[in-house]
Structure 1
């Protein structure tokens, strides 16, 4: 299965908020730069209008006084009032020649703007663009009043404003991200409760329920989760009860079939063997040639009785209630060791006391072990099978390991793994089966038990 990379939701949302905030700061910075550029041009347009009006007044005064000495144009009076660092004033004649020019010196900036910013600003705003107003006297155009800012000064001032915004961004953005992350962590804290509930459901703890939440969305999830858990618990309980009844019915059918085979087929075979023995005695006196056929019939009947005895043992094992689980399993393992003729070695090991184990659990464990040993010996071709049964305070653990080859027939034959799984589910236990790639398999069964189980079993038997 392809696993896609997973990211923390809080980190992802915080990064998105940071990206949006940075974009907003960038938009605000652009807005301030555009506004500042417009303000500069509005200012130099106003100064150009003032210079043009002043020059027109000077020209009118010269003509009114009729002074032979003309000090037109004279930018000194207006420059004393409007000059600022980096500002330039000039009068350009009608022929395009600069007749007078004043420029205010600009101090060296403490932090010169980077070349990249200067190039970007020059390309976007064209700093140093001049503003010109015509100077008109008596209907004649004498020239133009020209005003502009030094591009370096204007770029430095823009960088100063942008730097202030960048400082605010550098301080505000990390703080904003931290606050957003903390708020998201607090808002998403209930998702950990939801995850814990799902993990409990995955671990077959169907009593898991989610607590109430403040958020409407999480409350809807809680209602669906709790309803699903309750429905699943009811369904599994009904399924376990149905499985238990089906298994009990199956065992009852096996016992009935075993009785029928023992009473009918077994007695018939015994009668055939007795008749063969009687016929053998008669043939020994009257017809010795029939002795071989009589002995053959007797041997065939004996072999059929042995096969029937094995089938009866599998259909109706020794009464676990009378012999106990330990003795029954020891007899089962001894029987397999005897029938395998050394081809398969079966070992069994017990840990704990099993005397107080309920009869229903003992019977189901015996059936599980019986089916597992049959699969390992007949279908997996194992040469060594190990069985370990341990009794704990609140559970009983069964482990069966073999060195057989992987074979699907072991799963499909007889009751198979499905039947064992159903028996374990009926006892509300846990079942796992793993087969190695190079052979061998491991079966694990864990059944919960408590002293109350034995008392309940005794009350049911008494009823």
Structure 2
């Protein structure tokens, strides 16, 4: 824009200078013609061909030589105006005030041509030829108006060329922004192409190196988390087996023995009957507590009935533990039998931890657990995705004080399990109240149902 304005000012300056030179040249030409005609009249007078009273014979001299806006004056030797002739000009196309004021200051008195009238070394007066400033400005404005149109076209052309050039130069930014969006979505496989511009090429190299480093670090972290979580799950299973094989049998035997003592005491030693009954109750409570612990360590429904049935039992248990204060709605879309056993176990633990947090901290009346395949069913890499959503209508579990009190271990554990499966887990508020957990977990379909 500035370049176009500068070009317009330069062109306008040239038009002003050119028109001024043309007007002065015309005035000089008219002055020369009139002076020669007057000198011819003086020759004819001195040759007694004409009368001296007729000098200057004005109209024949000026009628055919004057142009629009031009004035020709004859000044006698005493400086008085002897004769004068002016021609008007068309002022219908007015000149803008600002241009007229500027042109008047620049052209005032600069078009005047003065010629002495002499014959045989005797002065007979002076000839002055001028052109009205308005006529000069009208001619200049006519040319400048054309330049304005050309300038407008030049501005449009320059803007168009700049738009094309800048758009072409900044075209790589589309790839860069797409790459940044992909990184923000967690797609670390995106790589930028090579660019011709050195700066963009450097950005591409740094971006690709950073993405590769993040991808490698994320894979290592995911593998480590998977090993840790799998080790934790295997330890749970080992503890469950040992407790079931050893402690559970001994406690069952002790409970049976306590029951036998109670029966014998009631029949033969009534004084010991209360203690015997108390012993029987304590032993039965220990057996019941052990069964609950075993179910927490390794729910038998996952092995026997599958993930869907295990989640249904889990939902009923949470409702029972809340003493009817919480209603859990379970929605399953799709056949979860395709999940590998390890994935099924991790999904169960995520749901279990989520419902436990709701019962302990959310003070909710309703909870919803939804599982199913994602909208496309498959990821770009060809894996299938399991979408998991847990939400409630309680007070939420994202308060800083509450999360600080709990150490955030529940959410951390759920995120670690999702990451161990190569997925992601996000926790947000569910409207004004409650919380919402969304997890996307990839998996390779198992050959048959999980056993």
By how many angstroms is 1:249 displaced?
3.0
Tell me the secondary structure at the aligned position of residue 338 of structure 2: coil
Matching residue of 2:395? 405
Matching residue of 1:431? 425
Matching residue of 1:381? 363
Matching residue of 2:410? 416
Tell me the secondary structure at the aligned position of residue 339 of structure 2: coil
Tell me the secondary structure at the aligned position of residue 204 of structure 1: coil
Tell me the secondary structure at the aligned position of residue 191 of structure 2: coil
Structure 1: 5+ residue stretches without partners: 1-18, 459-463
Pick from 338, 342, 348 the counterpart of residue 360 of structure 1: 342
Pick from 429, 447, 450 the counterpart of residue 441 of structure 2: 447
Q: Is residue 134–residue 143 contact of structure 1 (8 Å, CA) maintained in 2?
A: no
Q: Is residue 213–residue 219 contact of structure 1 (8 Å, CA) maintained in 2?
A: yes
Please give the TM-score of this superposition, normalised by the length of structure 1. 0.76
By how many angstroms is 1:70 displaced?
6.2
Return the alpha-carbon distance in structure 2 between the equivalents of residues 438 and 69 of structure 1: 113
Tell me the secondary structure at the aligned position of residue 335 of structure 1: helix
By how many angstroms is 1:140 displaced?
9.2
Return the alpha-carbon distance in structure 2 between the equivalents of residues 359 and 145 of structure 1: 117
By how many angstroms is 1:402 displaced?
2.0
Can you list the C-alpha shifts for 1:385-408, whole angstroms capped at 9, x where unaligned?
Answer: 222222456222222232222133
Q: Is residue 127–residue 149 contact of structure 1 (8 Å, CA) maintained in 2?
A: no
By how many angstroms is 1:241 displaced?
0.9
Can you list the C-alpha shifts for 1:341-390, whole angstroms capped at 9, x where unaligned?
Answer: 32222232333223332122111111111101111122112222222222
Which moved further from structure 2: 153-162 or 278-287?
A: 278-287
Matching residue of 1:135? 116
By how many angstroms is 1:20 displaced?
2.8
By how many angstroms is 1:230 displaced?
1.7
Matching residue of 1:204? 186
Q: Which structure has more RCO (C-alpha within 8 Å, separation ≥ 6)?
A: 2
Return the alpha-carbon distance in structure 1 between the equivalents of residues 343 and 314 of structure 2: 17
Tell me the secondary structure at the aligned position of residue 442 of structure 1: strand
Distance 1:104 1:349, change over 3 A: closer
By how many angstroms is 1:86 displaced?
2.0
Tell me the secondary structure at the aligned position of residue 206 of structure 1: coil
Return the alpha-carbon distance in structure 2 between the equivalents of residues 45 and 418 of structure 1: 96
Which moved further from structure 2: 206-215 or 42-51?
A: 42-51
Please give the TM-score of this superposition, normalised by the length of structure 2. 0.77
Matching residue of 2:381? none
Q: Is residue 277–residue 298 contact of structure 1 (8 Å, CA) maintained in 2?
A: yes
Aligned Cα root-mean-square deviation (Å): 4.4
Return the alpha-carbon distance in structure 2 between the equivalents of residues 263 and 313 of structure 1: 14
Tell me the secondary structure at the aligned position of residue 194 of structure 2: coil
Matching residue of 1:371? 353
Pick from 395, 406, 416 the counterpart of residue 385 of structure 2: 395
Q: Is residue 31–residue 128 contact of structure 2 (8 Å, CA) maintained in 1?
A: no
Q: How many positions carry a matched residue from both structures?
A: 436
By how many angstroms is 1:27 displaced?
1.1
Return the alpha-carbon distance in structure 2 between the equivalents of residues 296 and 357 of structure 1: 46
* Equivalent residues in 2 for 1:99-138, closer than 5 Å: 99-106=82-89, 108=90, 112-116=93-97, 119-126=100-107, 131=112, 133=114, 135=116
Tell me the secondary structure at the aligned position of residue 209 of structure 1: coil
Q: Is residue 255–residue 316 contact of structure 1 (8 Å, CA) maintained in 2?
A: yes
Can you list the C-alpha shifts for 1:24-76, whole angstroms capped at 9, x where unaligned?
Answer: 34313431343135415643674587489759967996998799936655666
Distance 1:141 1:418, change over 3 A: farther
Can you list the C-alpha shifts for 1:256-299, whole angstroms capped at 9, x where unaligned?
Answer: 565677789878977986887688689876783x6556655654
Q: Is residue 337–residue 345 contact of structure 1 (8 Å, CA) maintained in 2?
A: yes
Structure 2: 5+ residue stretches without partners: 379-383
Return the alpha-carbon distance in structure 1 between the equivalents of residues 177 and 353 of structure 2: 38
Which moved further from structure 2: 37-46 or 384-393?
A: 37-46
Return the alpha-carbon distance in structure 1 between the equivalents of residues 253 and 37 of structure 2: 148
By how many angstroms is 1:82 displaced?
5.2
Return the alpha-carbon distance in structure 1 between the equivalents of residues 430 and 336 of structure 2: 31
Matching residue of 1:11? none
Tell me the secondary structure at the aligned position of residue 36 of structure 1: helix
